[in-house]
Amino acid sequence: MGDIVKTGMVIIHYNDYESLRDLIENVKGYSVISKIIIVDNNSKKEIKQKAKELVSRKVKLIENKENKGFAAAINIGSKALIKELGPCNIIISNADIIIHKEEDIKALIKELNKRTVGVVAPTIVENNHLNRGWKQPSPFLDSMLNLVGIHRLLRKKYVFYKEEYYQEKTSIVDVVSGCFFLIKSKNLERIDFLDENTFLYYEENILAKKLKDKKLYLLVCNDVLIIHNHSISIDKNMKKIKKLKIQKQSQYYFQTTYNHANWIEKVLLKTTAFLSRMILTVVYFIKDLVRR
């Protein structure tokens, strides 16, 4: 019988103290979680000060001097956790997550222990719908998804799996949501951690591609529900157009670096991204005028 592998949790935090506090209060009593590491991505001074109050024997706080993005924060927290626990199961979580019971974590860990599983995720409840992952988009499809007005139709038809795909206890998917998932430290090390060349978007797609290249699967537990408040950390702290620009930069990086987009696909990605920014800039400007 081998040694029991411990489980730790890495929480990525940015200017959302109330959600962070609630999550820590929720899980710090879970016996299955040996260590919790909060990675603060350079929140406001007063919020960082409050976050320090959450530190305990079980909870450690790492303060980044700059916001290095989601992937970099995950790497920093995971490496610190591995240093503390050795080989371990790692729970990656946003601050604005609600977990109903410890048994849900145990169920996810059980699935993670299957041989060819790279990542396990629950069914995420957010914005009144269920997020169970999605299909990896090709460069051409991603460029078409940039088109304002028809992107919703394309996403429904070509990106999301049909509901009947989730009838079993678990389902293998191409990509899972980055707001909450589990990964073994050895698999994270095997893929040389997350790529830090994106900011806020496409980290999940890149992680999925790196795992698939190692013949590891991404698994969703259909009967484990975890709530994502989808707040605060992104929506209240970044303007829409700035977010859109960052998203399209990450999109282009993923499709050219990992999906090896050809020159035609590169042109399509850049052109449709530019058009979407221009159209939405006008739309948001008109909305602001109406509100006034």
Task: Give the CATH number for residue 60.
Answer: 3.90.550.10
Question: What percent of the chain stands above pLDDT 90?
Answer: 84
Instruction: Give yes or no for a contact between 30 and 7, defined as CB atoms under 8 angstroms apart.
Output: no
The answer on pLDDT for 237 being more than 60 is no
Residues 6+ apart with CB under 8 A from 285: none
Question: What string of H, E and C letters represents the secondary structure of the chain?
Answer: CCCCCEEEEEEEECCCHHHHHHHHHHHCCCCCCCEEEEEECCCCHHHHHHHHCCCCCCEEEEECCCCCCHHHHHHHHHHHHHHHHCCEEEEEEECCEECCCHHHHHHHHHHHCCCCEEEEEEEEEECCEEECCECCCCHHHHHHHCCCCCHHHHHHHHHCCCHHHHCCCEEEECECCCCEEEEEHHHHHHCCCCCCCCCCCCHHHHHHHHHHHCCCEEEEEEEEEEEECCCHHHHCCCCHHHHHHHHHHHHHHHHHHCCCCCHHHHHHHHHHHHHHHHHHHHHHHHHHHHHC
The Cα–Cα gap between 284 and 85 comes to 48
62 pLDDT tier (thresholds 50, 70, 90): very high
Q: Is residue 23 part of a domain?
A: yes
The Cα–Cα gap between 55 and 47 comes to 14
pLDDT tens for each residue of 125-149: 998 899 999 999 999 999 999 998 8
pLDDT tens for each residue of 158-181: 999 999 999 999 999 999 999 999
The b/e string for 271-283 (b: 16+ C-beta within 10 A; e otherwise) is ebbeebbeeeeee
The range of the structural domain enclosing residue 190 comes to 6-291
Looking at residue 153, its amino acid is L
The Cα–Cα gap between 225 and 229 comes to 13
Q: Total domain count for the chain? A: 1
- Top-confidence residue, 181 or 1: 181
Q: Is residue 1 part of a domain?
A: no
pLDDT score for 285 = 73
pLDDT score for 291 = 66
The Cα–Cα gap between 288 and 292 comes to 6
Q: Is residue 185 part of a domain?
A: yes
- Top-confidence residue, 38 or 68: 38
Q: Is residue 132 part of a domain?
A: yes
Q: Is residue 160 part of a domain?
A: yes
Averaged pLDDT for residues 84-95: 97
Q: Is residue 60 part of a domain?
A: yes
Torsion of CA 154, 158, 164, 167, to 10 degrees: -120
Averaged pLDDT for residues 81-86: 98
pLDDT score for 288 = 67
